Amino acid sequence: MPRHSASMPSCAARVCALAFLALLASCAAVRQIRPLDLGEISLSGSLGGPFTNVGVTIPLPLLSVGGNVGLGQGLDVEAGVGLISALYGIMHVDAGVNWRPWLSRRIRPGLMVSPKLWLLTDFSPGSVRIYPDLGLTAFWKVGQFWYLYGGAQNWFEIHSARYDGQPQEYHWLPTVHAGASLGRKKWQFQLEGKLYVPNALNTNRPAANLGLGSHGAFGVFVGVSRFIVRRPP
């Protein structure tokens, strides 16, 4: 009697994980890599997510949009919303500032410090969650139009117990990123690779992520920004 080969089992079971990942993943969309200056305004969108096996391994298509408004020299305020989350009835917004202590000069990178708050709720009682996030990004200007950058976002889970009553194992959830940005006047394009939570095991969980061995999950995003108002360089 012919019998059967592979184990699809987990395929079926793991598709559900798409959903679970969507939220966390879209929390790390790509944005401006250097703060805007006073009076500048830009809008941005990004598409991408962690590589997940849903039969084949693909980056989840998570979409978010945001905007930045320059407040001062090398200081802007930023806000964004996760559109995929919104489609599923979850308000998933972030707001914060980006501060640039110095610009890149020769091989010394510029630095962007980005403290933020993320707010999530599905509007049911007790569902509001707020997560502080500290982003650090080093960037280099390469030529006239390119920026290369790398850094990390750092989410902090402030609750000591999870919603299911079990102890909260992870309080620091970093996402390491590196990418390139190409832009001239109004438009700017980005390609960014990420490694989500490299300090966390990716085994024995519903999702089948492509990670660094047994840890984390790789992801990829493309982003586009458009300056609505831009000061001359």
Partner 1 sequence: MSAWRRAPSGDRPQLVCTRLWLAAAALLSAGCLSLDPFLFSGVALSDYQLDAYTGEQECPAAIDSVRLMEVAALAPVVVDSCIHQFEIASGSGSIHAVLLSAQRLLSPTDTCILYFHGKGPHIDYYWDRTRMLHATGFPVMIVDYRGFGMSAGTATEATLSEDGHAALAFLRDSLGDPRITVYGYSMGSLVACDMAAHDADSQIVGLILEAPIGSIQTLVNEESYLDLPGSYFTTFTGDNAERIRSVSEPFLWMHGSSDEVLDREAQGLPIWRNYQGSSGYSIKVLGAGHTTVPQHLRYGAYVECVRAFCRGGAAQAFPQWVEPARGEWAGK
Contacting residues toward partner 1, per CB under 8 A: 1-10, 12-21, 23-24, 41, 43, 65, 67, 81, 83, 86-91, 120, 122, 124, 126-127, 129, 131, 155, 157, 159, 161-164, 166, 168-170, 173, 197, 200, 203-207, 228-229
CB 93, min distance to partner 1, A: 8
Q: Which is nearer to partner 1, 33 or 120 (CB)?
A: 120
Give me the least distance between CB of 103 and partner 1, in Å please.
25
Nearer Cβ to partner 1, position 73 or 204?
204
CA distances from 80 to 28, 43, 76, 95, 204 (A): 11, 9, 13, 7, 32
Q: Which residue, 111 or 207, has its beta carbon nearer to partner 1? A: 207
104 or 188: CB nearest partner 1: 188
Indicate the residue among 10 and 57 with the shorter CB distance to partner 1. Answer: 10
Task: Tell me how far, at minimum, the Cβ of 212 lies from partner 1, in Å.
Answer: 16
CB of 8 to partner 1, least distance (A): 5
180 or 230, CB closer to partner 1?
Answer: 230
Residue 197 Cβ, how far from partner 1 at the closest point, in Å? 6
Closest CA to 194 of 24, 76, 68, 34: 24
Look at residues 4, 49, 13 and name the one whose alpha carbon lies nearest to residue 206.
Answer: 13
Other Cβ atoms closer than 10 A to 6: 6
- Are the beta carbons of 11 and 55 closer than 8 angstroms? yes
Residue 61's nearest CA partner among 50, 75, 73 is 50
Least spacing, CB of residue 177 vs partner 1, in Å? 18
